[in-house]
Amino acid sequence: MTDETATGWRAGEPGVLRLPSGRLVRGRGLRRPLDPAAPLPAYGVYLLGRPPPALPWDAHWLRWPDFRLPAERDRAPAVLREAWRRCADERVEIACGGGRGRTGTALACLAVLDGVPPEEAVAFVRRHYDRRAVETPWQRRYVRRFPSAG
């Protein structure tokens, strides 16, 4: 796979994580303004305590309070599986307020879905996305227990 997929994300751009399969997904902190030169996502998953503002692209809100775990525990794996499936050929972004804790946790779950062993997924995301990603012990535990199949 080249440094750019047909989706338009480029490896090495801020927030773009390349999964082992070559899929690219962008993590983002919503408190930082979106770069006007960056392409817009086709699909986004927003990990927030309350609904995000209306967006001009397809999006899912996953109720996930800051420094916590998803409030919708049964729904979270399906939403993250959909994001992983779609990032094979669409511009997918995962975002929370700061772009580290909840976003890093979700990106680590996508890494598990992509074949990274659960016990290595947090280190993978810290190495390739943000060294401070996945902020709490319970977020790390969530990734280790995330179901890779289903």
Look up tokens 């959909």; give the residue: 82
Handedness of CA 140, 144, 43, 53 (dihedral sign): negative
Tokens of 127: 């190495």
Task: Give me the pLDDT at residue 46, please.
Answer: 97
Which residue ranges form the domains of the chain, and what is each CATH number? 16-144 (3.90.190.10)
Q: pTM of the predicted model, to two decimals? A: 0.93
61 pairs with which residues across the strands?
Answer: 46
Say how far apart CA 88 and CA 91 lie, in whole Å: 9
- Alpha-carbon torsion (48, 44, 107, 71), positive or negative: positive
pLDDT of residue 3: 44
Q: Would you give per-residue pLDDT tens digits along the chain (150 residues)?
A: 344 444 579 888 889 999 999 999 999 999 988 888 888 999 999 999 999 989 999 999 999 999 899 998 899 999 999 999 999 999 999 999 999 999 999 999 999 999 999 999 999 999 999 999 999 999 999 999 998 765
**Cα–Cα distance for residue pair 104/66, rounded to 1 Å:** 12
Specify the length of the chain in residues.
Answer: 150
Burial class (CB in 10 A: 0-12, 13-18, 19+), 111: buried
pLDDT at 123: 98
For residue 140, the tally of other CB atoms under 10 A from its CB is 17
